[in-house]
Amino acid sequence: MMLKRMKLSTKVYLLIGLALAFLPFINDSRWFMFLMIQIFVFAIFAMSYDLLLGYTGIVSFGHAMFFGVGAYSAAIVMDRMEASFVSFLLGTLVAVLIGGFISFLAGMLTLKLKSHYYAMLTLALAGMFLYIAERWRSVTGGNDGFTFRIPELPGFLEEHRNFVIYLFCLLAMILLFFGMKRITESPLGRVLVGIRENDQRVESLGYRIMPYKVLISVISGMVASLSGVLYAISIRFVDTSVFDIQVTLDALMMTIIGGVGTLTGPIIGSAIINFSHHYLSDLANIHWIFQRWMILFGAIFILAVIFFPNGIVGTIQNKLAKRKTKKKQYDTTEKSLRKEGA
C-alpha cells in the first residue's frame, strides 16, 4: 500500500539505496568500504552545505568548523567516558547542540548583512576553532590528534564491524537526504528559494527573512555536525585536519560540481571528488601536476563557476525540463490540431 503512494523518484532513490546496501557483498575490500563510507559522510556534509548555498544563497567559508566540532565532540565524549552506546548518543547530542549553537550565533550576527559577512565570519570562526584544537592539547591532543574506541557490537556483528559502519552511514545518508528533501519541498523551502532569487521581494510579500535564514543556518550546522560525528567513528581517530579549510573547499566543490540547489547533486559530487582524491594521489607518480592537484581543482572550480554553474544534476534537470515543456507544447498543438480537424 505504502509503496503505491510513493512518488516514482522516491522509489528510485530507495532502490539505489538498497543496491548500495548490497554493494559490500560484491566488493568487500577494506579500501573500497572505506572509500564508500567517506562518500556517504561527505555527501551528508555537502548536502548540509547546499542547504545554505543552493537553497538560500548563503556562502559559508567555515563549514569545516561544524564538521570538526562534530568529530571532536563525539571523539572526546567517547574517549572520556566508557565506549558505550550511551556515550555515543551523548557525544552526538553534544555535537549537534554545539553545531546548532554556533550557526545560530553566526547567523544572528551576519545574515542581515551582505553575503560576504557570513562568509568572512564563518571563515574566521573556523580559523579560531582550528587554533583552539591545535593549542588545547590536554583535550584535543593538538596536531597529533588521538585515537579512541567505539562501542563494541554484540555477537557476530563485531566481526563485520566495517560492514555495520558502512550500513549505518548509508542509512544516515538516506534518512538525512529524505529529511532535508522534506524541508526543501515544504513551504519553508519555497520561502528560502524566494530569498535566494530576490530577498527584497520576499520581504515585500510580508515575510521576515531573517528568521528563515537563521533557521536554515542552524539546521545546516546541525546536519554538518552529524556528518562530523560519523566521520570520527568511521576512522576512530580525530586530529586538527577536520577543521582544515580543505574540508570546506571539498564541500563547496562537491556542491558546485554535483549541482547547486539539488540534494542529489552533492551526493554525486561527493562520489566524484572522493574517487578523484583517491585516484589522483595514485597518479602523482606519473606526472608532477597530479601532485599539485589543487591547481587542477582550482581551475576546474573557476571553469565550473563560469561555464557550468548548474552542475551535473542541475544541467540534466534543465535539459529534462526543456524536453518536457517541448513535449507538452507538442502535445497541446497536436490536440488543438485534432480538435480543429474534428
Partner 1 sequence: MELIINLSINGIATGMLIFLIASGLTLIFGLMSVLNFAHGGLFVWGAYSGVFFFSLTGSFWIGILCAIVTGLILGLLTEVFIIRPVYGNHIRQILITLGLMLVLSELIKVVFGPNVLPAPVPDYLKGSWLIGDITIIKYRMFIILVGALIFCLMFFTLRYSKIGLIVRAGVMNKEMVQALGINIKKIFIFVFMVGSALAAFAGALFAPSAGAIYSELGMEFGIYAFIVVIIGGMGSIPGSLVAALLVGLANTFTAYYVPILSMVVTMLLMLIVLLFRPQGLFNVSGVSNK
Residue 256 carries which side chain, given as an amino acid letter?
I
Min dist. Cβ of residue 305 to partner 1 (A):
4
Min dist. Cβ of residue 107 to partner 1 (A):
12
Residue carrying C-alpha cell 576546474? 300
Residue carrying C-alpha cell 525540463? 321
Residue 293 carries which side chain, given as an amino acid letter?
W
Q: Of 261, 291, 258, which Cα lies nearest the Cα of 189?
A: 261
List interacting residues with partner 1 (CB under 8 A): 53, 57, 59, 61, 109-110, 112-117, 119-121, 123-125, 127-128, 131, 135, 245, 249, 252, 256, 288, 292, 294-295, 297-299, 301-302, 305-306, 309
Q: Of 145, 157, 304, 303, which Cα lies nearest the Cα of 231?
A: 145
Nearer to partner 1, 14 or 120 (CB): 120
Min dist. Cβ of residue 126 to partner 1 (A):
10
Min dist. Cβ of residue 81 to partner 1 (A):
27
Nearer to partner 1, 77 or 125 (CB): 125
Nearer to partner 1, 121 or 313 (CB): 121
Q: Give the CA distances from residue 277 to residues 47, 165, 186, 270, 296, in Å, rounded to whole numbers and listed in that order.
A: 19, 22, 35, 10, 12
Nearer to partner 1, 51 or 176 (CB): 51
Min dist. Cβ of residue 125 to partner 1 (A):
7
Min dist. Cβ of residue 282 to partner 1 (A):
19
Nearer to partner 1, 111 or 238 (CB): 111
Min dist. Cβ of residue 180 to partner 1 (A):
20
CB atoms within 10 A of CB 86: 12
Residue carrying C-alpha cell 606526472? 287
Nearer to partner 1, 40 or 297 (CB): 297
Give the contacts of 227 (CB within 8 A, at least 6 positions apart): 41, 42, 44, 45, 48, 67, 70
Cell of 106: 553566526
In DSSP notation, 26-49 reads H---HHHHHHHHHHHHHHHHHHHH
Q: Are 233 and 131 in contact (CB under 8 A)?
A: no
Nearer to partner 1, 12 or 113 (CB): 113
> Residues 233, 234, 238, 244: is their CA dihedral positive or negative?
negative
